[in-house]
Amino acid sequence: MVVLFSLWPFVNTVILSLTDAQILRGGRFVGLENYGRALDDPDFWTATVNSVVYLAVVVPCLVLLPLALAVLVQRRVPGIGFFRSAFYTPVIASAVVVGLIWQWVLRSDGLVNTVFEKLHLISGPIPFLTDSTMLLVSAMIVTIWKGLGYYMVFYLAALGNVPASLYEAAALDGAGAVRRFFSITIPSVKPMMLLVGTLSAISALRVFTEIYILGGESGGPGGGARTLPFLIRQVGLGFAGETGYAAAVSILLFLLTLVFSLLGHRLSKGDER
């Protein structure tokens, strides 16, 4: 199963990246020509910058916000189970359904713009979905909102392993809630924070659905909000799809993902030492 569905597709992608193959015809060997083309392609660099910016914004939010959420819902009070379930609901919802809901919320005549106009806070609709920068920010918000409950569960598992005696001893010493959070909670869940950071970084580099649903097939005005997975789909599909070039961009995305994965692994090893 691993060879059939993981190793062979990877090897085949590497082979394709060295050819000029297209959807309807085989290709000839061109060496590293596709990689050179990618490095000279403005669309590739736009997509790369968008992917890295996406990662830089989304990862810190998905490392810190779920932790704060987990600390809040960890308390055993009546009705807390309902809130845990409510926060986790977006995780089990289809990414397409979530995207369509947010599209309705953020479009020019959607919920947010309508409310703001009724309150006379804006004179015209905010271009959440028609401006490349705003579209990218909107997609980030959707990714963060959908990932909060997922990573909250990770932190709940980590917090459950923190001895209650540590908090009791700190409270007896006069440490307040904030001091206990930074002196006990953060150090205790630091390995989990590194894991969440690595997983969310990989997920951020692979983002596609949010951009596609909110921005359409073009990836926003002029394709300005395209990420690397979006570019791969765009150049690799269709009757004139360039599968060789798309495979080369896929390998470059893999290398970029590998860099951040190894960085997370190195940080976790350093933390263990």
pLDDT tens, position by position, 151-176:
999 999 898 888 888 888 888 878 88
pLDDT at 269 over 70: no
End-to-end CA gap in the chain: 36
Q: Which residue did the predictor score with more confidence, 163 or 44?
A: 44
Tell me the average pLDDT across 79-89: 81
Whether residue 220 contacts residue 211, with contact meaning beta carbons closer than 8 Å, is answered with yes
Whether residue 263 contacts residue 197, with contact meaning beta carbons closer than 8 Å, is answered with no
Give the pLDDT confidence of 100-126 residue by residue, as tens digits: 899 899 988 889 999 999 888 888 888
Tokens of 109: 């005549």
Considering only 52-56, 72-76, 85-89, which range has the smallest mean pLDDT? 72-76
pLDDT of residue 167: 81
pLDDT of residue 78: 74
Give the pLDDT confidence of 2-19 residue by residue, as tens digits: 888 889 999 999 999 999
CA 229 to CA 208: how far, in whole Å? 6
